[in-house]
Amino acid sequence: MELTLLGTGAPDGLPRPSCPCAVCASARGPWARAATALLIDDALLLDLTPGAMFAAARAGHSLGAVRQVLLTHPHDGPAVELPAPLPPAARVPDGQVLTLISGHRVRAVAMDAPGTGYEVTSPEGERLLYLPPGAAPAGLPERVERPYEMVVLDVIGRPDAVARLRAAGAVGPTTEVIAVHLDHDARRARRWSGGSRRPGRGRCRTGRRWWWASTTRCRTCRAGCW
């Protein structure tokens, strides 16, 4: 599974428009974050944000092969213009499972806050869990079968969600935990999202995968490759 982060910021992005706070003031250049959106294997787009098409292009990808667009939370403000080739964006009722032409399976997961989480299984069987801002899963089984390969969530807003996923075995030692929906109240975010490294594009030293934005470690070799 190849994950491309088209943004890692809160729904309003970081810096927030015309916010005078110190965090917003320092969110410039590589530290500016578009609202969170995930592109998975170029086939599935989770959350549609302004500028997603250009973010994909900057990361060396295209939205041209996207077969499904799913939203985790209702978007306030003006509707996001849908780039022409994209299928209409949808939210899926909790518990429903979609199978995409690309072979990905997506299950909608109930949240304890407004929004929908998505569990994505790639054709190769790798699993990713993506949660909306400020949300944690509503009720987890005592013990899940095996940990996810990747969990992408609001670590700063809901640290308890990580703890609960860990307790249930959904986050294990090999799980990549990626902090997203980063807002201006989140100085600690840097610890979770790249340390002092510049967010940007990197190639794994194994040469196999590209990463975009602010993952802490590389999914391929489990080290900081860039």
Q: How far is residue 181's CA from residue 35's CA, in Å, rounded to a whole number?
A: 7
Q: How far is residue 101's CA from residue 119's CA, in Å, rounded to a whole number?
A: 17
Interface mask toward Zn ion for 48-87; x: CB under 5 A: ----------------------------------------
Report the residue number, 139 or 207, with the smaller CB distance to Zn ion: 207
Spell out the residues 6+ positions from residue 12 whose beta carbon is closer than 8 angstroms to its own.
Answer: 35, 183
Candidate segments 17-25, 120-128, 144-152, 155-163, binder of Zn ion by CB under 5 A: 17-25
Residue from 2, 19, 92, 105 in contact with Zn ion (CB under 5 A): 19
Q: Does 220 bind Zn ion (CB under 5 A)?
A: yes
**Two tokens at 139?**
């009720």
Tell me phi and psi for residue 3, to 5 degrees: -105, 130
Q: Does 22 bind Zn ion (CB under 5 A)?
A: no
Report the residue number, 163 or 223, with the smaller CB distance to Zn ion: 223
Q: Does 33 bind Zn ion (CB under 5 A)?
A: no
State whether the Cα torsion 77-82-88-90 is positive or negative.
negative
Q: Does 225 bind Zn ion (CB under 5 A)?
A: yes
Q: Which of residues 187-206 bind Zn ion (CB under 5 A)?
A: 204
Q: How far is residue 221's CA from residue 87's CA, in Å, rounded to a whole number?
A: 34
Amino acid at 209: R
Candidate segments 1-9, 101-109, 164-172, 218-226, binder of Zn ion by CB under 5 A: 218-226
Tell me phi and psi for residue 153, to 5 degrees: -155, 180
Candidate segments 11-19, 73-81, 85-93, 188-196, binder of Zn ion by CB under 5 A: 11-19
Query: Least distance (Å) from Zn ion to the CB of residue 208?
Result: 8
168: left (phi over 0), alpha (psi -120 to 50) or beta: alpha
The answer to whether the peptide bond before residue 132 is cis (omega within 30 degrees of 0) is no
Report the residue number, 24 or 162, with the smaller CB distance to Zn ion: 24
List of residues contacting Zn ion (CB under 5 A): 16, 19, 21, 24, 184, 204, 218, 220-221, 225
